[in-house]
Amino acid sequence: MTQPAVLALVDHHDGVVRAPAFELLTLARSVGPVEAVWLGSGLAGALDLLAEHGVSTVHHVDLDAEATVATSARALAEILVESGATTVLLSSTFENKEVAALTAHETGAGLSVDAAGLERSGEGRLVVHQQAFAATWTLQVEITTPRAVVAVKPNAVPAEAAPTGETPQVVSHALVHPPAARTRVVERTVRPSSGRPELGEAQVVVAGGRGTEGDFSAVEELAEVLGGAVGATRVATDEGWIGHETQIGQTGVTISPRLYVGAGVSGAVHHRGGMQSSGTIVAVNADPEAPIFEIADFGVVGDLFTVLPQAAAEVRRLKAEQA
């Protein structure tokens, strides 16, 4: 029996595909033939990459960059119904979670967000792996409706190219029933890129907390060497030491990188809720009683201003040796 197609929404900025989209395509291939959905402009430049990742068909709707979640959801819902696919996958961002919810609302699909994995049951239903309560519990959730909409966390799987590439066919759609535009975007300011990976998508994150006392130089240096993103605790952002967009936690950015390094981070419950599903957790803190040591794979009781630079220099040296 051939599996019904799986639609994957490909997130992009200015025509550049965001890293989690390739993870999504990799995961999608494991549950059915993959068809991509591209909303907005810039598709032509991305077709080769989509082909390498096993996309056989690209559904394209030419929405403008300020399209609201309602418009994106309507587009996905119409493509889902028209294409005969049964599943829509999205990357789990705040906006995409809303798009996912509305798409499911319009199509009667079952919904899961912040998925950490995905498989098909013996009966062909989707089973979603989830984490709960700051990743202290794991859940297997079966979607019992014929249609499913699932938003997948970044770093759920490593992105891999397909064994055989495809020559994708592009199918253009126009919105049949555009939703009433009742929410107006009156200002839109794109944040300048830091040149590092996006915090929510990064495979390595180095985070600074109260222990930095506002000096993030050691944190930034180690992030640079490891090719990672810089994050922070609520205390650090509230103190104005670093921008609010770097706050890791249940109300900030939720991360699950392969490697998390917490420097001067005590490990308050709100922070843990945003990073506890990380692959490997490293903590450097002067206080041996800091709760973060309870969840650290590698903990150092010490001064972050000596330990981090020493580690950065050593990693740099080892890398140079290998090269």
Partner 1 sequence: MKIVVCVKHVPDLQGDRGFTPEGRVDRSQGDGTLNELDENAVEAAVTLAETHGGEVTVLTMGPPDAEDAVRRGLQMGAEHAVHVVDDALAGSDAFATATVLAAAVRRIAADGPVDLVVTGMAALDGLMSVVPTLLAAELDLPQATLAAELTLTGEDTRTVRVRRDLDHVVEVLEADLPALVSVTDQANQPRYPNFKAIMAARKKAVSTWSLADLGVDPAAVGQAAARTTVVEASPRPPREDRVLITDEGDAGLRLAAYLVENRLV
- Name residues contacting partner 1, limited to 133-192 (CB under 8 A): 133, 135-145, 182-191
- Pick one of 71, 72, 131, 212: the residue that binds partner 1 (CB under 8 A): 131
The neighbour count for residue 201, using CB atoms within 10 Å, is 20
Q: Does 81 bind partner 1 (CB under 8 A)?
A: no
Q: Look at the block and give the residue holding tokens 């294409």.
A: 83
Instruction: Collect contacts of 291-296 with beta carbons under 8 A, ≥24 apart.
Output: 291/266, 291/267, 292/262, 292/265, 292/266, 292/267, 293/267, 294/267, 295/267, 296/262
Q: Which is nearer to partner 1, 172 or 313 (CB)?
A: 313
Q: Which is nearer to partner 1, 141 or 170 (CB)?
A: 141
Q: Which of 299, 216, 228 is nearest to 258 (CA)?
A: 228
Residues 21 and 7: beta-carbon distance below 8 Å: no
Q: Does 23 bind partner 1 (CB under 8 A)?
A: no
Q: Does 217 bind partner 1 (CB under 8 A)?
A: no
- Tokens at 202, concatenated: 């990064």
State the nearest-atom distance from the C-beta of 57 to partner 1, in Å. Answer: 26
Q: Does 298 bind partner 1 (CB under 8 A)?
A: yes
Site residues (CB under 8 A) for partner 1, limited to 35-74: 69-70
Draw the binding track, 247-286, toward partner 1 (x: CB under 8 A; -: no contact). Answer: ---xx-xx---xx---------xx--x------xxx-x--
State the nearest-atom distance from the C-beta of 251 to partner 1, in Å. Answer: 5
Q: How many CA atoms lie within 13 A of 213 on its CB side?
A: 5
**From CA 240, how far away is CA 259, in angstroms rounded?**
25
State the nearest-atom distance from the C-beta of 143 to partner 1, in Å. Answer: 5
Q: Does 308 bind partner 1 (CB under 8 A)?
A: yes
Q: Which residues contact 114 (CB under 8 A, 6 or more apart)?
A: 92, 97, 130, 131, 151, 153, 254
Helical axes 217-226 vs 304-322, angle rounded to 10°: 20
Site residues (CB under 8 A) for partner 1, limited to 91-110: 93-95, 97-98, 100-102, 104-105, 108-110
Q: Does 295 bind partner 1 (CB under 8 A)?
A: yes
Q: Which of 292, 299, 297, 300 is nearest to 274 (CA)?
A: 292
- Pick one of 3, 30, 82, 244: the residue that binds partner 1 (CB under 8 A): 244
State the nearest-atom distance from the C-beta of 56 to partner 1, in Å. Answer: 28
Q: Does 123 bind partner 1 (CB under 8 A)?
A: no
Q: Does 315 bind partner 1 (CB under 8 A)?
A: yes
Q: Which is nearer to partner 1, 141 or 175 (CB)?
A: 141
Residues 140 and 134: beta-carbon distance below 8 Å: no
State the nearest-atom distance from the C-beta of 103 to partner 1, in Å. Answer: 11
Q: Which of 101, 102, 117, 112 is nearest to 144 (CA)?
A: 112
State the nearest-atom distance from the C-beta of 136 to partner 1, in Å. Answer: 6
